[in-house]
């Protein structure tokens, strides 16, 4: 047992955040910690790690327990390079190695190997050697490279200074550092934020085989289903325990609520029956003793508290006023480029969207998904291609970080100023539907939480009543309950939906089609996320079989033709296709290298590196280019071989 918590309480002023918490964390077990935003999840983690004190109760840790904690702010040393920050994890091991080198030099200077001094130095050397071996010191660089590759830094210059990384890259790097530390208890706070599907899959596979215990706050239901074997939920300050993953938790919670409600009602009926008997029989001489006996039993009864009902959840309903024509959107040969001196992120995007369709957009980080949404709306200019909207189309846009809200206005005015003809009662009703009530509506937008800003943006969309919704990562900042409400509202929406998301649950429930954007275009998949994954797996298998077939044909023709010639049209055609692809790859490599050189030159300019947001954008673009170059070189090398 690593941690035992008993009757732990924590308050902030008059607000009791945690009430009589009981919890155990066992060796090598995986726990998910869930609850609505503000329930006290991060508070509990900070108490466990020792960065926050508790008011009462007991918290007992295993002596010498090592805890690794990934907070939402990453705690990296911003002026260090990537490799220096990663090697900090092994400071004691590297110190032992340096001491070994020093001792080796000292021993080489002593000719008498039987002297006391030589034996003392040799003994010290052996201690350092034993420690170095126990920490697998010879594989430090291999471990670092393995973890960084898995977390998406395979093509990143290891001397890159951390301050130049984007927010998402810093989060991934913090996770990488934490994994290298290999603590007995790994505590993660929203670890899946900013991860693309490839990195997310690698992290999940790594955590499944992790040798220690894991305690994770997460709103990612796929992650909770795949990783954890026990769910802890904080609700109204109380902690509830459920064995199993997230899918197992849902029916257990419903069963617990039903059981508590039934037990409470049965006890209330028993109390009423006993009280009625006491009231009728206490004054009668013949039955007073019996009544007194029941009164004592009633007074000694452990009275159950009335079960809390379900927490209030927001109400969303997206409606539209006018019906658009059948053809809602047509995109032809669109190129996505960003920056004053445009840098191409992707090109040759072709897609048509019909009335009532729900299209999800996915792709690697930095590929241009958000920019695509802005280009089709005319928010940023297009450099090439055509975007055609159908007749009677009206648009509502959910921006990923809600930067289109006025941060200085209070929430009430931000909504009312957009719809000045709307009665105050209606404005209040809509805000109340997303749980923005009382003092919350008088807070400036800039100080309310990310989840509250998201809900305010949903209010705007509900009042706009557009027939096309364009949404960029709409589940960011939402807790599990709010995500489920949003999913239902989007499924029920009768209009057209075009959205970017990395939320695999949302991608499984809402879209009719999925469009994956790559550097060279976009591919459309019918169905939801599971259908997309199955199609990708089939595609990989087909490509592997085709490659094996081509390799077998080439080997056979070379074996049968001593002069290296080919005996059939198919073989000549295959060789021609291979050579053409090699030429195409060489052109793509040259183009990418030129664009990367231009981008790196831009990043040295003061007007760029002094602008944090612009520098983040440039770094993301450069990261994407390096990843593409790596893929081009791999394919080029395979075809050349």
**Looking at 343-347, 501-505, 528-532, 633-637, which range is the least confident one?**
633-637
The ranges assigned to domains in the chain are 1-66+183-244, 81-170, 251-300, 327-527, 568-640
* 205 vs 199: CA distance, rounded Å: 10
The helix (H) or strand (E) run that includes residue 415 is helix 411-416
The reported pLDDT for the residue numbered 560 is 57
C-alpha distances (whole Å) from 258 to each of 8, 230, 249, 308, 362 are 27, 21, 14, 11, 40
Question: With 70 as the cut, is the pLDDT of residue 521 above it?
Answer: yes
Fold agreement (1-66+183-244, 327-527): yes
pLDDT of 192: 86
pLDDT of residue 43: 93
Q: Which two tokens stand for residue 313?
A: 């959840």
Which CATH number applies to 1-66+183-244?
A: 3.40.50.300
Which is higher by pLDDT, 488 or 156?
488
Check the CA dihedral 437-443-448-454 and report its sign: positive
Q: How far apart are CA 215 and CA 292, in angstroms?
A: 52
326-335, 351-360, 610-619: range with lowest mean pLDDT: 610-619
Instruction: Specify the higher pLDDT residue, 423 or 555.
Output: 423
User: What is the rounded distance in angstroms from the CA atom of residue 547 to the CA atom of residue 641?
Assistant: 13
How high is the pLDDT of residue 437? Answer: 87
Mean pLDDT of 330-340: 91
Name the percent of the chain lying above pLDDT 70. 93
- pLDDT per position as a tens digit, 585-640: 888 888 888 787 777 777 666 666 555 456 656 766 776 777 788 788 778 877 87
- Return the closest-CA partner of residue 205 out of 163, 150, 146: 150
**What's the chain's average pLDDT?**
88
Please give the backbone phi and psi of residue 441, each rounded to the nearest 5 degrees, phi first.
Answer: -75, -10
The arrangement of strands across the sheet holding 521-526 comes to 395-398, 468-472, 496-500, 358-363, 513-518, 521-526
Burial 362-386 (b: 16+ CB within 10 A, else e): bbbbbbbbbbbbbbbeeebebeebe
Which residues share a beta bridge with 59? 5
**Helix 288-300 / helix 246-281 crossing angle, nearest 10 deg:** 150
Over range 40-64, report the average pLDDT: 94
Return the CATH number of the domain spanning residue range 568-640. 1.10.287
Decide if pLDDT at 315 tops 70: yes
Give 401-421 pLDDT, tens digit per residue.
888 899 899 999 999 999 999
Q: What's the pLDDT tens digit per position in 223-262?
A: 999 999 999 999 999 999 999 999 999 999 999 999 999 9
Query: Model-level pTM?
Result: 0.76
Lowest mean pLDDT among 76-80, 89-93, 152-156, 589-593: 589-593
pLDDT of residue 285: 78
**3-state SS, residue 515:** strand
Domain at 327-527: CATH code = 3.40.50.300
């Amino acid at each position: 047992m690593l941690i035992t918590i008993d009757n732990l309480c924590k308050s902030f002023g008059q607000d009791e955040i945690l009430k009589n918490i009981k919890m155990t964390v066992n060796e090598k077990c995986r726990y998910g910690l869930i609850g609505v935003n503000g329930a006290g999840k991060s508070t509990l983690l900070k108490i466990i790690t020792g960065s926050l004190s508790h008011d009462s109760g007991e918290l007992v840790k295993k002596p010498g327990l090592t805890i690794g904690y990934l907070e939402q702010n990453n705690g990296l040393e911003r002026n260090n390079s990537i490799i220096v920050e990663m090697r900090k994890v092994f400071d004691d091991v590297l110190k032992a190695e340096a001491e070994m080198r020093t001792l080796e030099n000292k021993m080489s200077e002593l000719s008498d190997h039987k002297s006391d001094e030589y034996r003392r130095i040799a003994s010290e050397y052996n201690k350092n050697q034993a420690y170095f071996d126990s920490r697998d010191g010879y594989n430090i660089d291999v471990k670092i490279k393995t973890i960084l590759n898995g977390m998406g830094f395979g093509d990143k210059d290891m001397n890159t200074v951390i301050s130049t990384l984007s927010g998402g890259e810093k989060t991934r790097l913090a996770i990488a550092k934490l994994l290298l530390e290999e603590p007995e208890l790994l505590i993660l706070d929203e670890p899946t934020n900013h991860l693309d599907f490839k990195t997310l899959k690698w992290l999940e596979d790594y955590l499944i085989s992790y040798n220690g215990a894991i305690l994770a706050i997460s709103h990612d239901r796929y992650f909770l289903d795949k990783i954890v074997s026990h769910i802890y939920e904080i609700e109204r300050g109380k902690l509830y325990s459920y064995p199993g993953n997230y899918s197992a938790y849902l029916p257990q919670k419903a069963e617990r609520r039903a059981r508590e409600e039934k037990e409470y009602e049965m006890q209330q009926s028993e109390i009423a029956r006993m009280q009625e008997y006491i009231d009728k029989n206490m004054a009668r001489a013949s039955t007073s003793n019996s009544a007194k006996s029941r009164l004592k039993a009633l007074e000694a009864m452990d009275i159950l508290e009335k079960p809390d009902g379900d927490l209030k959840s927001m109400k969303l309903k997206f409606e539209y006023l006018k019906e658009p024509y059948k053809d809602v959107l047509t995109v032809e040969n669109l190129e996505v480029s960003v920056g004053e001196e445009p840098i191409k992120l992707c090109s040759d995007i072709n897609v048509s969207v019909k009335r009532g369709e729900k299209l999800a957009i996915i792709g690697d980080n930095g590929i241009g998904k958000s920019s695509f949404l802005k280009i089709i709306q005319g928010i940023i200019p297009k450099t090439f291609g055509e975007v055609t909207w159908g007749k009677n189309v009206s648009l509502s846009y959910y921006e990923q970080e809600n930067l289109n809200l006025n941060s200085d206005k209070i929430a009430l005015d931000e909504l009312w100023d957009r719809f000045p003809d709307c009665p105050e009662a209606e404005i209040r009703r809509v805000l109340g539907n997303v749980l923005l009530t009382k003092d919350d509506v008088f807070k400036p937008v800039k100080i309310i939480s990310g989840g509250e800003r998201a809900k305010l943006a949903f209010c705007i969309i509900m009042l706009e009543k557009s027939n096309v919704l364009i949404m960029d990562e709409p589940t960011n900042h939402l807790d599990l309950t709010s995500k489920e409400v949003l999913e239902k509202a989007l499924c029920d929406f009768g209009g057209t939906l075009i959205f970017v998301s990395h939320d695999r649950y949302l991608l499984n429930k809402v879209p009719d089609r999925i469009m994956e954007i790559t550097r060279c275009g976009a591919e459309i998949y019918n169905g939801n996320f599971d259908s997309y994954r199955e199609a990708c797996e089939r595609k990989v298998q087909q490509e592997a079989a085709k490659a094996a077939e081509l390799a077998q044909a080439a080997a056979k023709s070379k074996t049968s033709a001593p002069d290296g010639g080919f005996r059939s049209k198919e073989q000549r055609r295959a060789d021609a296709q291979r050579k053409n692809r090699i030429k195409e790859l060489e052109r793509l490599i040259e183009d990418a290298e030129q664009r990367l050189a231009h981008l790196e030159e831009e990043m040295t300019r003061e007007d760029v590196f002094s602008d944090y947001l612009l520098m983040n954008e440039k770094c993301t673009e450069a990261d994407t280019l390096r990843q593409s170059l790596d893929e081009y070189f791999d394919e080029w090398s395979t075809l050349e071989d």
